[in-house]
Amino acid sequence: MSQHIISVSARHRETPFTRRVNAAGVKCYSVYNHMLLPVFFDSVEADYRHLKDHVQVWDVSCERQVEIVGPDAAKLLQILTPRNLSTMTVGQCRYIPVVDDKGGMLNDPVAVKLAEDRYWISIADSDLLFWVKGLAIGFELDVEVFEPDVSPLGVQGPKSDELMARVFGDAVREIKFFRFERFDFQGVSLCVARSGYSKQGGFEIYVDGTELGEPLWDALFAAGEDLNVRAGGPNLIERVEGGLLSYGGDITRENNPYECGLGKFCSVDENSVCIGRDALAEIARTGPSKQIRSLAIEGDPLIPAASPWPILADGKPVGRVSVGVWSPDHRTNVALGIVDKSHWDDGTRVIIATPQGERNATIMEKSFK
Amino acid sequence: MSQHIISVSARHRETPFTRRVNAAGVKCYSVYNHMLLPVFFDSVEADYRHLKDHVQVWDVSCERQVEIVGPDAAKLLQILTPRNLSTMTVGQCRYIPVVDDKGGMLNDPVAVKLAEDRYWISIADSDLLFWVKGLAIGFELDVEVFEPDVSPLGVQGPKSDELMARVFGDAVREIKFFRFERFDFQGVSLCVARSGYSKQGGFEIYVDGTELGEPLWDALFAAGEDLNVRAGGPNLIERVEGGLLSYGGDITRENNPYECGLGKFCSVDENSVCIGRDALAEIARTGPSKQIRSLAIEGDPLIPAASPWPILADGKPVGRVSVGVWSPDHRTNVALGIVDKSHWDDGTRVIIATPQGERNATIMEKSFK
């Protein structure tokens, strides 16, 4: 895995769990929403194996919340996204593309409905707070918009239900996917959602403030010793296998939701109130000219890079790979990239110009898992 | 200097100069506006010495631009900041606090007036684009707002004028502080401003696109060999000595401009159109209750940290140090912190609770240099 040294800076915030993360022997961080995100503790490959077999605790505090509260909260949320939220009920989470006036992606967060007039938007890596607040002020809406001191802690992996049940009681097993319930921990009521940035199943605990951070971390590790619980983080290999997108990496402002395979979350007609409605309606009419696909890239293990790799067909560019990495389970390099319509069909053979040389690759309609 | 390992990620953008920066032997990066910012090449101390004696080339591409263009551009800019811009002329740069509706700092950028209807806002570390765009849409202003592909290259240090004159001609010597002129490089017109994030003097060249990046870098190094030109970056010691603030570190949304010593840039009265006017007017009336100050912290060299250090007087908290580091020139630890009004007078003696133990310190009215 390719790495840099970065200087410790007050611009990169620590979290309620940072002391525990450091004590657990974190080997590599990322910076996400101006905050430290632990990436791996042993190696990307070893953490991948462990995530798929056991259970991990993830410090994903960097999934910051944008809280919207007030009489116009629901109205503002519907202005933010092309996804129709009219049927969203309290207790639900919804993955919502957020776009600008041209239909360009600004973030791909999860909205959490806490009450009829209160929401959290659990954000990917961009200062969505500024967008939401700017619109609220410009449209003179009756809402408060701010970043509460709420830090999600992920519990991910096949043994997540067992570990969580030991700490919060068997009722956590009943939480449905993308729903949350409130559970007490040391007398404090916390939102616990069945969600997370892996395909291995699990939960996200929205931890209010910093005081509960270390006690909760310790309770999970104490309860999970025989489950082989370990500290982990969003795993590059596992998320690429699963086709989970990374905002700022696979998706940028240059992409619209249709290109990202998020067309199913776009309901745009003359009644839509969302920013970018007309731009999205036009794209929906003609269809996107390129789209993100999974790819299998042949040959030796590839080293992930910061710059995209050109996708070539007959010597001409037909797209770009945004991330590619060796998958021990699939015995090939798994990748995500954006591909022109002419070459996006399942099974299309292409060439990838990697820093390690040209490689044969196959476009896939679906993700690896 | 305390450091982390971070994984290479497509979320952390490379710049037009990254290949040259790597070839120059960068030892430490930071992440700033989702982009790689080179921090030092030899050591923070060695780079500091060199910056004060010679001339350095800085890849500050991460100072991204927010471009505002259109009939309402000047109107929008005045909505963004409490600073009165009515006398700003084409060719000028202005340091402008940008605040939210509560008067909280969102960024402390430099505005560059390119034409009567066209501005760049050269930003510190937050996605100000989202704020500007959100307001423009909400207020239905007739402007385009976007991030152009423009990457500043800094030339800083006492020999900056000589180096720049060799590459751009003697006319660069005539550029006044915080003004820019256009100069040709290989047939392309570039904005060259007398500005930069050091107190050693110098320039910032706004490089359009990526193609000119390496030729310009190479031209500066070829012309400056006998000037001992080197690659560098914003230097922690030098900027703390000079009292240059870092948004996200020394300043956050929790601070208003008066607390940051930026009251002189706030003109708020009933005619003001800026967001946060009423909140700022109220703070101006009562005066801030705390303010950022320089501090001299006694004892052995301190290791800079991510978390603030409490400032104590009679055992009670009276502020927080956001950054502290050993200064070879001043033979003491130089620091910046926010201090309660009761203890902010020049010469006040306080205690700093550092991870290396309690230290005596003195509050200073002015910066070290």
> Is B250 close to A10, i.e. CB distance below 8 A?
yes
CA-based nearest distance A15→chain B, Å: 10
Contacts of residue B168, Cβ cutoff 8 Å, sequence gap at least 6 = B183, B185, B192
What is the assigned CATH class of domain B18-63+149-240? Answer: alpha beta
Picking from B40, B133, B147, B274 by the largest number of A CB atoms within 10 A of its own CB, the best residue to mutate is: B133
Q: What's the pLDDT tens digit per position in A308-354? A: 999 999 999 999 999 999 999 999 999 999 999 999 999 999 999 99
CA-based nearest distance A322→chain B, Å: 7
Asked if A224 and A177 count as a contact pair (C-beta separation under 8 A), the reply is no
Q: Which of B1, B127, B307 sits opposite A7 (nearest CB)?
A: B1
Q: Tell whether B10 is within 8 A of chain A (Cβ).
A: yes
Selected residue with higher pLDDT from B4 and A52 = A52
B 226-245 residues with CB below 8 A of A? 236
- Write down the pLDDT at residue A1: 58
Q: Tell whether A25 is within 8 A of chain B (Cβ).
A: no
Q: What is the mean pLDDT of chain B?
A: 97
Q: What's the pLDDT tens digit per position in A108-141? A: 999 999 999 999 999 999 999 999 999 999 999 9
What are the residue ranges of CATH 3.30.70.1400 in chain B?
Answer: 65-142
Q: Tell whether B23 is within 8 A of chain A (Cβ).
A: no
Q: How far apart are CA B256 and CA B216, in angstroms?
A: 39
Q: What's the pLDDT tens digit per position in A104-114? A: 999 999 999 99
Give yes or no for residue A178 having a pLDDT over 90.
yes
Half-sphere exposure of B209 (CA within 13 A, CB side): 6
CB pairs < 8 Å spanning A and B: 180
Please report which helix (H) or strand (E) contains residue A110, including its range: strand A110-115
Cβ-based contacts of A68 with chain B (< 8 Å): none
Handedness of CA B215, B218, B223, B224 (dihedral sign): positive
Q: How far is CA B13 from CA A215, B146, B248, in A?
A: 37, 17, 19
pLDDT bracket for residue B242 (50, 70, 90): very high
CB burial of B48-72 (b: ≥16 within 10 Å; e: otherwise) equals bbbbbebbbbbbbbbbbbbbbbbeb
Q: How far is CA B261 from CA B275, B311, B359, in A?
A: 19, 19, 25
Q: Tell whether B274 is within 8 A of chain A (Cβ).
A: no
- Partners of residue A313 on adjacent β-strands: A316
Ramachandran bin of B119, using left for φ above 0, alpha for ψ from -120 to 50, beta for the remaining angles: beta
- Write down the pLDDT at residue B300: 97
Cβ-based contacts of A67 with chain B (< 8 Å): none
Picking from A1, A9, A252 by the largest number of B CB atoms within 10 A of its own CB, the best residue to mutate is: A9
Give yes or no for residue A2 having a pLDDT over 90.
no
Q: How far apart are CA A367 and CA B94, in angstroms?
A: 49
Picking from B2, B11, B42, B102 by the largest number of A CB atoms within 10 A of its own CB, the best residue to mutate is: B11
> Is B138 close to A133, i.e. CB distance below 8 A?
no
Structure tokens of A252? Answer: 């940028």
SS3 (DSSP) at A39: strand
CA-based nearest distance A176→chain B, Å: 31
Give yes or no for residue A255 having a pLDDT over 70.
yes
CA-based nearest distance B15→chain A, Å: 10
Asked if B57 and B79 count as a contact pair (C-beta separation under 8 A), the reply is no
Asked if B128 and B48 count as a contact pair (C-beta separation under 8 A), the reply is no
- Partners of residue A295 on adjacent β-strands: A335, A363
What are the residue ranges of CATH 3.30.1360.120 in chain B?
Answer: 18-63+149-240
Q: What are phi and psi of B277, to 5 degrees?
A: -50, -50
Q: What is the mean pLDDT of chain A?
A: 97
- Write down the pLDDT at residue B35: 97
Q: Tell whether A254 is within 8 A of chain B (Cβ).
A: no
> Is A5 close to B3, i.e. CB distance below 8 A?
yes
Q: Tell whether B19 is within 8 A of chain A (Cβ).
A: no
Q: What are phi and psi of B100, to 5 degrees?
A: -90, -170
Query: Which value, to the nearest 10 degrees, does the dihedral of the CA atoms of residues B76, B80, B81, B86 take?
Result: 0
Cβ-based contacts of A131 with chain B (< 8 Å): 130-131, 133-134
- For A136, which residue in chain B has the nearest alpha carbon? B138
Asked if B234 and B39 count as a contact pair (C-beta separation under 8 A), the reply is yes
Q: Which of A1, A131, A306 sits opposite B12 (nearest CB)?
A: A306
Which 3-state string (H, E, C) describes chain B? CCEEEEECCCCCECCCCHHHHHHCCCCEEEEECCEEEEEECCCHHHHHHHHHHCCEEEECCCCCEEEEECCCHHHHHHHHCCCCCCCCCCCEEEECCEECCCCCEEECCEEEEEECCEEEEECCCCCHHHHHHHHHHHCCCCCEEECCCEEEEEEECCCHHHHHHHHHCHHHHHCCECEEEEEEECCEEEEEEECCCCCCCEEEEEEECCCCHHHHHHHHHHHCHHHCCEEECCCHHHHHHCCCCCECCCECCCCCCCCCCCHHHCCCCCCCCCCCHHHHHHHHHHCCCEEEEEEEECCCCCCCCCCCEEEEECCEEEEEEEEEEEECCCCEEEEEEEEEHHHCCCCCEEEEEECCEEEEEEEECCCCC
Using alpha carbons only, give the angle A233, A338, B131 rounded to the nearest 5 degrees.
70
CA-based nearest distance A27→chain B, Å: 7
Given the DSSP bridges, would you call strands B230-232 and B56-59 parallel, antiparallel or unpaired? parallel
- Write down the pLDDT at residue B179: 98
Give yes or no for residue B2 having a pLDDT over 90.
no
* Separation of CA B282 from chain center: 27
Q: What's the pLDDT tens digit per position in A36-88? A: 999 999 999 999 999 999 999 999 999 999 999 999 999 999 999 999 999 99
**Pick from A5-14, A93-102, B53-62, B160-169: least confident:** A5-14
Cβ-based contacts of B135 with chain A (< 8 Å): 134, 137-138
Cβ-based contacts of B137 with chain A (< 8 Å): 101, 134-135, 138, 275
Protein fold of A18-60+149-240 = Gyrase A; domain 2 (3.30.1360)
pLDDT bracket for residue A369 (50, 70, 90): confident
CB burial of A61-76 (b: ≥16 within 10 Å; e: otherwise) equals bbbbbbbbbbebbbbb
- Write down the pLDDT at residue B1: 58
| Check whether domain A289-369 has CATH 2.40.30.110, yes or no | yes
- Partners of residue A119 on adjacent β-strands: A68, A113
Q: Tell whether B135 is within 8 A of chain A (Cβ).
A: yes
What are the residue ranges of CATH 3.30.1360.120 in chain A?
Answer: 18-60+149-240
Stretch B4-9: mean pLDDT: 90
Q: What's the pLDDT tens digit per position in B279-290? A: 999 999 999 999
Q: What are phi and psi of A72, to 5 degrees?
A: -100, 15
Q: Starting from the edge strand earliest in sequence, which strands make up the sheet with A28-32, in order? A: A35-40, A28-32, B3-7, A3-7, B28-32, B35-40
> Is A28 close to B5, i.e. CB distance below 8 A?
yes
| Check whether domain B65-142 has CATH 3.40.50.720, yes or no | no
A 314-343 residues with CB below 8 A of B? 322-323
Give yes or no for residue B23 having a pLDDT over 90.
yes
What are the residue ranges of CATH 2.40.30.110 in chain A?
Answer: 289-369
Q: What is the CATH number of domain A65-146?
A: 3.30.70.1400
Number of other CB atoms surrounding residue A177 within 10 Å: 9
Q: Tell whether B27 is within 8 A of chain A (Cβ).
A: yes
Q: Tell whether A19 is within 8 A of chain B (Cβ).
A: no
- A135, amino acid identity: L
Q: Tell whether B139 is within 8 A of chain A (Cβ).
A: yes
Q: What is the CATH number of domain B290-369?
A: 2.40.30.110
Q: Tell whether A210 is within 8 A of chain B (Cβ).
A: no
